[in-house]
Chains A and B, each alone.
Chain A
Amino acid sequence: MEFFIDFFKSTGFYLMTPGNIMMIVIGLIFISLAIIKHYEPLLLLPIGFGIIVGNIPSLASMPLGVYDKGSVLQYIYFGVTQGIFPPLIFLGIGAMTDFSTMLSNPRLILLGAAAQIGIFLTLMGSLYLGFSPQEAGSIGIIGGADGPTAIFLTAKLAPHLLGAVAIAAYSYMALVPVIQPPIMYLLTTKKERLIRMKPPRVVSKREKIFFPIIAFLVSALIVPGSLSLTGMLFFGNLLKESFVTERLAQTARTALIDIVTILLGLTVGASTQAQTFLTKESILIFVMGATSFAIATAGGVIFAKIMNLFSKEKINPLIGAAGVSAVPDSARVAQLIGQKEDPHNHLLMHAMAPNVAGVVGSAIAAGFLWSLFVK
C-alpha cells in the first residue's frame, strides 16, 4: 500500500497545481484555434502542445522540462536560448519570399518602416511601467509582429522573459485577422479603402539578384546587429533568385524551416511552465504586446495617408497595416478588407511590399536595440 502511495505521489495528478491546469487549458485553446479556426496552425499547434508538455509536473530529481539541466527538451531549447533557430527561420523565409512587388514599387518600403513605430513607443511604455531597458526592448519588439525576431532579441537581452514574449508575439501574429481590421476601419474612409493601385511592373532577373546583395550590405553596414537575421534572410532570397541553387533554396523553404518551426514551437510552448509564466509581468507583457501591435498597425495606415498627401499615384492606406511583418497574414487582411468594399480590387500584391519590408524593418530595429542594450 505504501508503495502505491509513494508511486501516486510521483504522478502528475498529485503534483499538478491550479496554475498547471490553467496553462494546460491555454494550450488546448491554442490547439483548438489552430485546428478549428486555422489561426497560424503551423505555429499555434506546436506551441499549444508544447504548453501542455511544459505543464506536466514531475519530480524535481527527474530532468524533463526545458529548464532542467540535461533534459532532452533543454538540448532542443538551446536553439532558442542561443538565438540559433530564428536566423534559420529567416533563411527559409528568404528562400520563399518574392520581393518583386516591392522592387516594382519601392516607395511602399517606407510603410514597412513606419509600422515599426509600435516597437519604439512600446519600449517607452514598458520603461514607464518599470521594466529595465533590456526588458523594455524585448517587449517592444513584439510590435514588429515577427516571432523569430522577437525570440532572437529576447534571448539576447532578457532571456527570463522569453516564454512570455514568444507566446505574446505568436499569439498576436495568429490574431492578425482579429486585431487589425477594427483599427484599419477606424483610420480609413470608405473612399480611401476603394483606392485602386497600378499593377506592379515586370521585374527583371538581374534586379532580383541585385536586391538581396545590396539590401544586405546596406542593412548590415548601418546596423551590424541585424546581420544574423538580415544576412540569413537575404542569403535565402539569393539562393532562390539566382536560379543556380534551386536545390538549396528548396530545402531552406521546405524541410529546414519546417524542422526548425517544429522544434522552436514545441520548446517555446514548453518554456511556459506555470511557476515561471503565470506572473503579473507576463500579463503586463501581453497588454504591452497588444498595444505595440495596435500602434504598429495604426502607424502603417497613417503613414500611407500622409504619403497620399504628397504623391500623385495614391496608395490604398489599407496596405499600410501590412507593414507589421506577420507575413503573409497582414497582407491577406488588407486584401480581404479591400475586397469587401470593392470585390474587383486586388490589394494582395501591393500589400506584400510593406509586408516584406516590415520583416527587414523589424530585423533592423532588433539589431539596433541589441547593439544598444547588450551588456
Chain B
Amino acid sequence: MNVLSGLGHGWHNVVSANGVTISIIGMLLVFFSLAVITLIISSTPYILKLVSRFYPEQEESVTGNGVKKVSEMDIVAAIGAALCHSMDSSNNRM
C-alpha cells in the first residue's frame, strides 16, 4: 500500500505535485463547463421558439413536475368524483 509514502507532510508536497495549479484549473474547468451549459439552457427557449415557427410543438404540454396539463372541467369532475366516493365510503362505515 503506497499510502503516505514517506514524503512527510508539508507545503512542499503541494508545490511539487502542482497542487495549487491543478486545483485552480480544475475549479475553472468545472465552472466553465457548467457556465456553458447554463448559457445554452438560457438561450434554448429562444431557439425553440424559432424552431416552433416551422415545426410547432404538439399540444401535449407538460408542467414543471412532469404532470400533464388538464382542463378546469376535468379538475372539477375529478374533485366531484372524489367527494362522491368519500361520501359513499363514509355512509358505508355508518
- Shortest CB distance A189–B (Å): 26
Binary interface profile of B, 18-42, with partner A (CB < 8 Å = 1, else 0)? Answer: 0110111111011111111111111
Consensus secondary structure, chain A interface: helix
A360-B38 Cα distance, complex, nearest whole Å: 12
Interface segment, one of A11-19, A78-86, A324-332, A361-369: A361-369
Those of B55-78 within 8 Å (CB) of chain A:
57, 60-66
Question: Whole-angstrom distance between the alpha carbons of A202 and B69 in the complex?
Answer: 11
- Which listed residue, A107, A160, A207, touches B38 by the CB 8 Å rule? A107
Most buried by A among B3, B39, B51, B60: B3
CA distance A121 to B10 in the complex (A): 15
Contacts A130-B13, A210-B48 given; indicate if A98 touches B65 (C-beta within 8 A): yes
The one of A102, A112, A281, A349 that contacts B4, using a Cβ cutoff of 8 Å: A281
Query: CA separation between A193 and B47, bound complex, in Å?
Result: 36
**Which A residues touch B5, using CB under 8 A?**
130, 132
**A295 to B2 CA separation, bound complex (whole angstroms):** 27
Q: Which residues of A in the span 205-259 have a Cβ within 8 Å of any Cβ on B? A: 205-208, 210-211, 214-215, 218-219, 222-223
A202 to B64, CA, bound (A): 5
How close is B53's CB to chain A, nearest CB, in angstroms? 13
Contacts of A361 in B (CB 8 A): 30, 33-34
Chain B residues within an 8 Å CB radius of A128: 9-11, 13-14, 19
Establish whether residues A127 and B14, one from each chain, have CB atoms under 8 Å apart when the complex forms.
Answer: yes
Asked if B1 and A160 sit within 8 Å, CB to CB, the answer is yes
Nearest CB of chain B from residue A66's CB, rounded to whole Å: 16
Q: Roughly how many angstroms separate A160 CA and B60 CA in the complex, as a whole number? A: 52
Residues of B within 8 A of A281 (CB): 1, 3-4
**Cross-chain contact B40 with A120 (CB below 8 angstroms):** no
A249 nearest CB across to chain B (Å): 12
Q: B66 contacts A124, CB within 8 Å?
A: no
| CB-defined contacts of A120 to chain B, threshold 8 Å | 22-24, 26-27
| Cβ contact within 8 Å between A207 and B45 | yes
Q: Is the CB of A205 within 8 A of B38?
A: no
* A residues neighboring B (CB under 8 Å): 98, 100-104, 106-107, 109-110, 112-114, 116-117, 119-121, 123-124, 127-133, 135-136, 160-161, 200-208, 210-211, 214-215, 218-219, 222-223, 276, 279-281, 284, 349, 357, 360-361, 364-365, 368-369, 372
| Selected A-B contacts with CB under 8 Å, 20 pairs | A109-B37, A110-B34, A124-B23, A127-B19, A128-B19, A130-B5, A160-B2, A202-B61, A204-B61, A205-B62, A207-B48, A214-B37, A214-B44, A218-B37, A276-B1, A279-B3, A360-B33, A361-B34, A364-B33, A372-B26
Using A123-B26, A136-B17, A281-B3 as known contacts, list a sample of 11 further A-B pairs with CB atoms less than 8 Å apart, ordered by residue number in A: A106-B38, A120-B26, A127-B19, A129-B9, A130-B8, A130-B9, A132-B5, A160-B2, A204-B61, A206-B52, A211-B44
